[in-house]
Structure 1
Amino acid sequence: MASSFLAFATERFESEITPVLEEYIAIPAKSPHFEPAWAELGHIDRAVRLLDSWARSRPIAGLRTEVVTLPGRTPVLLLEIPAFGVPASADAVLLYGHLDKQPEMVGWDADLGPWKPVRRGDRLYGRGGADDGYAIFASLTAIEAVQASGGQHVRCVVLIEACEESGSYDLPHYVEHLLPRIGTPSLVVCLDSGAGDYERLWMTTSLRGLVAGTLTARVLDQGVHSGDASGVVPSSFRVLRQLLDRIEDAKTGRFLLPSFHTEVPPLRREQAGQAARLLGDTAWKRFPWAGGTQPMSDDPTTIALARTWTPMLSITGAEGLPAIGSAGNVLRPETALKLSVR
């Protein structure tokens, strides 16, 4: 049965889904946090219409689709599929995903780009395909496969939001608004995580949350000559270094705020060990290390726990720093850093 499901899904993705996924990748549907003018630009609405149109074409018994939009909020796509092969009941499965995207960022190969879908072998490159455009395709294809094989399923609800990369601040309003239609699911499937490899079916049991913000140190109203001001005006970068030292040990990388740490439950520690034994050193060798850089630990279990339970600070962006090629002898007025704490 599993092999027939895999064959069904593979055929659907190759013949019907990948072309639509490529269209989706080409839409710069950046999340509102990264594109405040999202409503005026209409890219999120374009992505919603594309996915809604594809969903409506699926041969799934009783499928109903609706684009729901609350005033001033990003839209959601709601799909409802009645029970199949079993009596109707209050039971339901909720399948979740999102269609908004991270920003372009840098580092793309010369022939790749965020809004340029490129197929290399069995991999499709471009922004949003894996995070999280595939979710609606995977959800409906799984349901379609069950029905096509003569299987059974309870009522299913698929909810695709457009604000996840901004912290899902619109989602609670939609859940409350749609609660009578969602019901009380006995199972929630969140299709927005990762997998250790392609040989097994993986389920995420532990995942760190995210706290993000911008830290700014401003020391002047405008830049001045460093030969005149350094030694008199403090460096805004040095001020930030001191502030960061309050929350992070610069030598070890340990996050210093106790409230971000928690005891790992024994079951989760055991699961991390099992995953580590399966993955071995691929858990860290898969990253594109530069030069002689080494992982913070070479113990697979420690690495597994670090990725799922250990708080860690990353600096994901900066402002106030000119490009090196245009950096003159100026003591800069301010430095701003984007902090991301997992």
Structure 2
Amino acid sequence: MSLDIEKVKEFSNKAWDENILPTLSEYIEIPNQSPLYDAEWATNGYTEKAIQLLEKWILAQGIKGMTCEIKRIEGLTPIIFMVIEATKTENVKTVLMYGHMDKQPPLTEAWDEGLHPYKAVVKNNRLYGRGGADDGYSTFASICAIQALQQQNIPHDRYVVIIEGSEESGSIHLPQYVEKFQAEIQTPSLVVCLDSGCGNYDQLWVTSSLRGVLTGDLTVKVLNEACHSGSASGIVPSSFRILRQVLDRVENQITGEIDKRLHVEIPPYRLEQIAKCADILGSTIYDEFSWYQGTGPITKDLTQLMINKTWYPSVCITGAEGLPHTSNAGNVMRTHTTVKVSVRLPPSFKHTEAGDILKELFESNPPYGATVTFKQDKSASGWDSPQTKPFLEKALGEASNLFYGKDHVYMGEGGSIPFMKMLNDRFQSQFIVTGLLGPASNAHGPNEFLDIPFAKKLLCCVIYLLDAHAKNA
């Protein structure tokens, strides 16, 4: 039986307007932060409230042949684990669909008037709120895609759907679940991940690579007690100045160049894809950001900017301790300075090696004999997608043209989805990694939103691609 494209469009529009948006809005309003950012996640009830909401919605959809259960391992965030049995009778394959339900911290004070991270607001065809696009919608889109096939009586594959609760913390709790339920997962022929991004809202974007990530606390300590800066300055070296020196070992503060030991050789075909992507996106690559006054990008070379974002390592300081607020900053030589260092790693770089390199660079031969420590708290390797098989490449192009009217595009992402690397190492699967995080959508930041018209078309594409995979002999 052939898929009716017009019915797919009608289904997606109705599903989003009447079925997805109401419950997704409820989900947005639950402050269930990822475990790395909420030490009380296991007792404050937010994670439990979110996962119960999602499970209740899933069970109400009437998916035939489905078993759905909240799985728990003591001390770990729970997951939703679903199996939908195939309706095909021959050449049955398993498709693994993945998303997450945990959220980044809210940054409450930075949101525009009328918006709030835990308030769902629909405005100008956008749904605002923390976690809607990253990645609460994935549960709804995955189930609705299967529901659409069943409504048209389209024979489909066996589906395993996993919604985890620690992705924003580096998927620290997921490996134990994968091990425990390996027999039920089986060997996926295709992995569909809806936790990624898009370069614009005009066509289907397929993620070709993801950078790895490593974070940790870098501390420089020089004194046991704080003292008068007039007495100590010029004698006691500032912990902040020493911090600048050791950071400069990894990242040149003038050029931004990162130590060569953290680089990899970029495959030529990826460079070709990057150049094509840069040509399509143009200045959107940097225009999407909310620049302050005259600030501008590192370079206006668009291809280089995309290389920087997707295949070069980078360093960000995302937090600090030991620094009083400016309104309470006396003339004091502080005992120490601590910063949270976040390092993005090339897709093919092993995160375990990066940790050793960074620790050596930061801690060896400390200036003035100061105590310098780097305590790693999160790491995950990146991912470089395997080559797409011809049938799937054809289906991606057809889906993008049918529902967007333009060809699909491959784009590397600067962020991380640790589960993709884990799956790639385990299974010889095909991957469709895509998502709603497009220009100005600002995942993790203020005013996070998802573009509703784009989301409707993306659901159509997922339905089409699941059908194309099922029909491939």
Counterpart check, 1:23 vs 2:26: yes
TM-score by length of 2: 0.70
Q: Distance in 2 between matches of 1:273 and 1:7?
A: 36
> Is the 1:5–1:145 Cα contact (8 Å) retained in structure 2?
yes
Select which of 229, 232, 235 maps to 2:232.
229
> Residues of 1 paired with 2:65 and 2:251: CA distance?
54
Q: Is the 8 A contact 2:86 2:92 kept in 1?
A: no
Distance in structure 2 (CA, Å) of the matches to 1:268 and 1:153: 33
What residue number does 1:267 align with?
269
Shift of 1:82: 1.1
User: 1:301 aligns to what?
Assistant: 303
Alpha-carbon contact 1:74-1:162 (below 8 Å) kept? yes
Partner of 1:209: 212
Aligned to 1:317: 319
1:40 to 2:43 alignment: yes
2:287 aligned to 276, 285, 288, which one? 285
Task: Show the 5 A alignment for 1:123-134.
Answer: 123-134=126-137
- What's the C-alpha RMSD, in Å, of the aligned pairs? 1.5
Q: Structure 1: 5+ residue runs without aligned partners?
A: none
State the match for 2:16 in structure 1. 13
Compared with structure 1, are the counterparts of its residues 281 and 7 closer, same or farther at alpha carbon in structure 2 (3 Å cutoff)?
farther
The higher-RCO structure (CA 8 Å, 6+ apart) is: 2
Q: How many residues align?
A: 340
- Per-residue CA deviation, residues 39-79 of structure 1 (Å, 9 max, x unaligned), is 11121111110000000011322122100001221101011
Q: How many angstroms does 1:211 deviate by?
A: 0.8
2:221·2:336 contact (CA, 8 Å) conserved in 1? Answer: yes
Equivalent positions of 1:22-101 (< 5 A) are: 22-84=25-87, 86-87=88-89, 91-101=93-103
Shift of 1:331: 1.5
Provide the C-alpha distance between the structure 1 equivalents of 2:195 and 2:299, rounded to a whole number of angstroms.
27
Q: Secondary structure at the match of 2:278?
A: helix
Is residue 90–residue 184 contact of structure 1 (8 Å, CA) maintained in 2?
A: no
Partner Cα separation in structure 2 for residue 57 and residue 299 of structure 1? 50
Q: CA, structure 1 residues 300+146, in 2 after alignment: closer, same or farther (shift >3 Å)?
A: farther
Match of 2:141 among 138, 143, 165: 138
SS for the counterpart of 1:58 is coil
Partners of 2:97 and 2:142 within 8 A in 1: yes
Instruction: Name the CA distance, whole Å, in 2 between partners of 1:265 and 1:120.
Output: 42
Shift of 1:5: 2.3
SS in 2 for 1:215: strand
**Structure 1 pair 6–335 and aligned structure 2 pair: CA distance change class (3 A):** farther
1:236, distance to aligned residue in structure 2 (A): 1.0
- 1:90 is displaced (CA, Å) by 5.6
Question: 1:26·1:116 contact (CA, 8 Å) conserved in 2?
Answer: yes
Deviations 1:85-122 (A, max 9, x none): x2165620001111111112252123222212222121
- Aligned partners of 1:155 and 1:121: how far apart in 2? 38
| TM-score calculated relative to the size of structure 1 | 0.95
How far apart, in 2, do the equivalents of 1:281 and 1:20 lie? 36
> Aligned partners of 1:265 and 1:331: how far apart in 2?
49
Q: Which one of the candidate residues 211, 235, 243 is aligned to 1:240?
A: 243
In the TM superposition, residue 230 of structure 1 has moved relative to its aligned partner by 1.1
Question: Is the alpha carbon distance of 1:2 and 1:221 closer, same or farther for their aligned partners in structure 2, counting shifts above 3 Å?
Answer: farther
Partner of 1:196: 199
Q: Is the 8 A contact 1:272 1:304 kept in 2?
A: yes
Q: 1:111 to 1:74 in 2, by over 3 A?
A: same
- Contact persistence 1:314–1:340 (CA under 8 A): yes
* Structure 1 moving runs of 4+ over 6 Å: none
Q: Does 1:162 align with 2:161?
A: no
Aligned-residue offset at 1:222: 3.1
- 5+ long unaligned stretches in structure 2: 345-473
User: Offset at 1:4?
Assistant: 3.8
| Matched residue SS, 1:246 | helix
Specify the code of the residue in structure 1 equivalent to 2:106: E
Deviation readout 1:139-178 (Å, 9 max, x if unpaired): 1111112222332321011101101111111111100101
**DSSP-derived class of the 1:206 partner:** strand
1:2 deviation in Å? 4.6
Inter-partner Cα distance in structure 2 for 1:27 and 1:339: 28
Q: Counterpart of 2:86 in structure 1: which amino acid?
A: A
Distance in 2, Cα, partners of 1:278 & 1:3: 28
Q: Does 1:104 align with 2:103?
A: no
C-alpha separation in 2, matches of 1:276 and 1:228: 55
